Amino acid sequence: MITSIKGGEAAIAASHRLLAKRRRGNPMFADLSVDQIREQLSLAVDRVMSEGSLYDPALAALAIKQAEGDLSEAIYLLRAARTTLTRFGYTDPVDTAAMVVRRRIVTTHKDVPGGQLLGPTYDYTHRILDEALMGEAGSDNLSDLAGLGEAEEGSRDNGTAHFNADAAAHSFAKDSGVLARADIVEDVQPDGGERVGDITRDPVVFPSRRDERLQTLARGDEGFLMGLCYSTMRGYGQNHPFLAELRYGDATVTLAIPELDIAVGIGMVRLTECQTVHLTTGDGSLPPRYTRGYGLVFGHGERKSLSMAMLDRALRSTELGETVAYPAQDDEFVLSHCDSVAASGLVQHLKLPHYVDFQAQIQLLNQMRADYAKRHRQSGLEAAPGPVPLTEALHGQ
């Protein structure tokens, strides 16, 4: 049975006006600007850029404002904006070894070439609410921050990072080379000359390739990835790694120009890169060793990159001859369900009208209940009450 539904446009328009009113909030308070969101809610902006697959802090901040801080909705908005952009080429792989590092830690060794750089992090803070931040001008301590300079603090200007000369001191080689020279970590796998896939244009085919998995995980919902990562550490997969290196900083993006046979730097992006090592006994064909996991995300996203690296390793179970027994090791399960936009769309569609589907199901339910009553009458048992027509039930008849 199909019925047409008319009207509703006026109600939808009114809903939009109410949404705009709620977004603005109490007009007694100053309106929150996109620049304020970009500069002072930078971690939220970074997450939206990473899962929205578009590096543009200004647009990500606008999406957060428009979505009233709902990051899943903001990611959806940024993805939608991304589809309207013209793609004119692919950049070269980013050289993260040449990254201007703002934070870099290694947990496998205390003393590493270049040293540890704590940088900006909540890892060493007390989780106690700072009530001083409730003030308007508050305790920003601008006089203290002014002494940090751009090398430590950095600034954003439409997605481009600026540095002074001191920042060059924070560029150093990756620590994974120290472990690799000890011959206890697997070699970096060559790309084999194959064209890297583009999951925004071609769907992932299972079993998936590692380049497809890494792209999908980079766009995946942070909470979902972290939950799966947590499951592997609690016994649903043998996956408790060491952090070989985590670094956060700015890397140059280059674009090859075939006509000139040169690569030109077109800007800088802020990235978080994570490399993990996992003890692997193997199947006996190779000596026990450490295997690798890898994660790379836009902006400052340490939980996301670490979870991504651990899932990257978990999803290599088949490649490494391990038994696939848990959800985090199943590429179809992980990759098909980690996208917040796809998940949100399917979950939220339940709020749309389902009148026809529900009426069809009611008819089926009534028929099943009638068959149930008939069977009981034939067996001599007391029959259950017969079905009440839905129209009567709705009107209390």
- Rounded to an integer, the average pLDDT of 113-127 is 90
Query: What does the buried/exposed string (b/e) look like for 327-366 if buried means 16 or more CB atoms within 10 Å of the residue's CB?
Result: bbbbbeebbeebbbbebbeeeeeeeeeeeeeeeeeeeeee
Q: Return the closest-CA partner of residue 109 out of 168, 182, 46, 1.
A: 182
Burial (CB count within 10 angstroms: exposed 0-12, middle 13-18, buried 19+), residue 218: buried
Q: Cα Rg for the chain, rounded, in angstroms? A: 27
* ∠ Cα 111 113 119 (to 5°): 80
pLDDT bucket at 285, cuts 50 / 70 / 90: confident
pTM of the model: 0.84
pLDDT of residue 196: 87
Each residue's pLDDT tens digit, 61-86:
999 999 999 999 999 999 999 999 99
pLDDT of residue 187: 80
Query: If DSSP codes are grouped into helix, strand and coil, which group holds residue 34?
Result: helix
Domain boundaries, the chain: 9-82, 96-125+141-347, 355-394
Q: Return the closest-CA partner of residue 67 out of 45, 46, 84.
A: 45
- CA gap 389, 343 in Å, rounded: 35
pLDDT bucket at 395, cuts 50 / 70 / 90: low
